[in-house]
Amino acid sequence: MTRFRNRPVSGPQSAAAYVVGVDVAEAMAPLESGYELLLAKVRAVVEPDPEVRALWLAGSLGRGAADAGSDLDLIVTVTAPDRFADPDIWRSLDPVITTPLPGMVGCFAFTTRSGLRVDVVVEGVDDLPRTGARQRIAVFNRDGLTVPPPSPGVGPDLDRMQAIVTEYMRQGALFPAAVVAREDWLLGQVAVHNYGLMLYELFVESNRPLPETGVKRWSDKLSPQQREVLASLSPPRAARDEVLAAMKEVRAATSTHGRTALESAGGTWPTELDETVHGYWVRHHLA
């Protein structure tokens, strides 16, 4: 299947805006069976409504990056968003789980009885110039509405990276007493997981600007080397030797590869703090 790209607007419309004229069926082809019917049900609800000015595919569908694990992400552009605050509007989707999206009136994540996932985001026509969902495909677009082009990405947030490393050190100082002294190896499992998650977040932040991806595209935000580092870490069972070995592994990875990520982005590794925590581990016979 040929991948598609959004194309700049030409003619009387703004040259800075984006249009999408790609076949919807092509965009949805990678999804599992059943999503075409869900889209048809949504369209049947919104297209007869004159206050609905456009319906769009968004998320990985809008970026041309959908696969068999993608959801059906939809944006509905309307003149009066408050009218769509009631999730019962979408009852034809037959949802078994309805989750309101925080802080977004009329926006819901649905899981249907057949296990398919549909996210519906309602936006006002006046909100379109400020949207963060700039890559999208029109299912229908009554007024030839356009969206701004994708914004250039920003680089690493060094304050966030430094905060991640500081939290890494803080939790390192807790481990000897809270886990080892108490022999709480279940807590030790969580501690190892948290260290791995902090290393992941440090890697991702160092890689910015990132290509636009969904939150579930976990590995796509990493370099091949970073994926290898994280994949090599051992998830322990709740047993002393396994927890201690796994914690030493993830600490070593953070102090080497994590430090490189921070310093390559322009940050400063807190050497004095690192030595302090290491000394604490030595006193507890863990280093």
- CA angle at 171 for the pair 200 and 282, rounded to the nearest 5°: 115
Residue at token pair 């290898």:
228
Q: With pLDDT > 90 as the criterion, what percentage of the chain qualifies? A: 76
Single-letter amino acid, residue 270: P
Least confident among 7-16, 66-75, 115-124, 201-210: 7-16
> For 101-121, how does the pLDDT look when each residue is reduced to its tens digit (9 = 90+)?
888 888 999 999 999 999 999
> For 132-145, how does the pLDDT look when each residue is reduced to its tens digit (9 = 90+)?
888 899 999 999 99
Q: What is the dihedral of CA 59, 68, 84, 77, to 10 degrees?
A: 40
pLDDT, mean of residues 27-49: 94
> For 183-205, how does the pLDDT look when each residue is reduced to its tens digit (9 = 90+)?
999 999 999 999 999 999 999 99
State both tokens at 152.
């250039």
Q: Assess contact for 41 and 139: CB atoms under 8 A.
A: no
pTM: 0.78
**What average pLDDT does the chain have?**
89
pLDDT, mean of residues 146-151: 82
Does 209 sit behind a cis peptide bond, omega within 30 degrees of 0 on the bond before it? yes
Confidence class for position 22, pLDDT limits 50, 70, 90: low
